[in-house]
Structure 1
Amino acid sequence: MALVENKKILEFLELVGRLKHEKRTGWVLCNINDCESIAGHMYRMGLMTFLLTEENNPTKLDRFKCLQIALVHDLAESIVGDITPHCGISPEEKHRREDEAMKTIAELTGIAGDRMYELYKEYENQSSPEAKFTKDLDRYDMILQAYEYEKRENAPKKLEEFFKATYGKFDHPFIQDLAKELYKQREEFEKKALVNGNV
């Protein structure tokens, strides 16, 4: 029995290992060279959950649960790929494919898989404060990454669409404050580029 289980676990690990190499579609479509992987995005989201403290977490979000949701929220992409609104697939079909993929992943790991599927559904349905916070992390990591690419390529405003898509959508005060700091730095970067004649 254990051998069968281990075989399935190995299959699971190889499957999710794809996310270390699968590029995020949004950046590929924007012709960003050497762009981040899906796993890289999830990794930084996971690390951000450690930044919740007594001071900035008055509603006592469960940090460990936030970390778990961050690590599973895009697992389905190891099977279906990173589907964006630009891919010509309806949101309903996207959710259907991802749900099927998560069921496949869950089947490989038994009880652990049941937990992963449960957390994935919680995120998809935005049915807990932790799921909502993790959605903030998802959006915030995306605009932080966009800003990093703008700086790297010395191309202010190049990825403005990502900022427009998320503006006003951050709920948690801690992430709202981080977003304000990011907007401020991005504005300063744009001003410097204007002065230096790079725009």
Structure 2
Amino acid sequence: MALVEHGKILEFLELVGRLKHIKRTGWVLCDINDCETIAGHMYRMGLMTFLLTEENNPTKLDRFKCLQIALIHDLAECIVGDLTPHCGVAPEEKHRREEEAMKQIAELTGIAGDRMYNLFMEYETQSSPEAKFAKDLDRYDMILQAFEYEKRENSPKILEEFFTATYGKFNHPFIQDLAKELYKQRDEFAKNHLAKVTTS
């Protein structure tokens, strides 16, 4: 490998390193203190792919591919930032910016970059079962994080908008079951909190 290519790889690594420090816009807009970063979000998504087993993966999803998609689905945000519907950027423009950013990223790493770009586009177009599963993980990690913040702040249901936005949108049976458990625990947390408030 030529030295210039090593230089490009270093540039790539510095770019993606930004994701360790960029906070997720949705939480910032909700005034959540000490909120997660983009890299933190993708890390837990990646770990969730390891939870696929013979028992809960009847359609034989490619777990390695699920992991790869989880780790690159927000990669473009190291250049364009975390754009949400509240940022005033049209969905088409958001997609254009992210696709352009992924092309820049891909150019730095050659064949590896081509793979990342193709997986990113697969996720964006939801054109494979693995991409659809990664979308489930993306949504589930978001509501799990929301619930964790509600518990940390001892404020039930303050982040209801994230649950409303994802309710009924989980497709994989395993994630559907995890979502049901989360809903149950969240309702119990709200009931227990109300009971403490009314008896104090």
Fold agreement, TM-score > 0.5: yes
Match of 2:41 in 1: 41
Partner of 1:183: 183
| Pairing 1:69-148 to 2, within 5 Å after superposition | 69-148=69-148
The Cα shift of 1:153 comes to: 0.2
Q: Cα RMSD over matched residues?
A: 0.7
SS at match of 2:154: coil
Q: Identical aligned pairs, as a percentage? A: 85
2:175 maps to 1:171: no
- Give the corresponding residue for 1:150: 150
> Aligned partners of 1:2 and 1:49: how far apart in 2?
35
4+ residue segments displaced more than 3 Å: none
Taking the aligned partners of 1:156 and 1:173, their CA distance within structure 2 comes to: 27
Q: TM-score, normalised by structure 1?
A: 0.99
Task: State the TM-score, normalized to the length of structure 2.
Answer: 0.98
Deviation at 1:76, TM superposition (A): 0.2
In 2: Cα distance, 1:197 partner to 1:107 partner = 57
Instruction: Tell me, in whole angstroms, the C-alpha distance in 2 between the residues paired with 1:159 and 1:2.
Output: 50
Number of corresponding residues: 198
**Within 2, Cα distance between the matches of 1:54 and 1:146?**
29
Aligned counterparts, 1:8-87, within 5 A: 8-87=8-87
CA distance in 2, matches of 1:78, 1:69: 16
- Residue by residue over 1:26-57, the C-alpha shift from the partner in whole angstroms, topping out at 9 and shown as x without a partner, is 00000000000000000000000000000000
- Residue 2 of structure 1 deviates from its aligned partner by 1.3
Give me the whole-angstrom Cα distance separating, in 1, the residues matched to 2:192 and 2:33: 24
Instruction: For structure 2, list consecutive stretches of 5 or more residues without a partner in the other structure.
Output: none
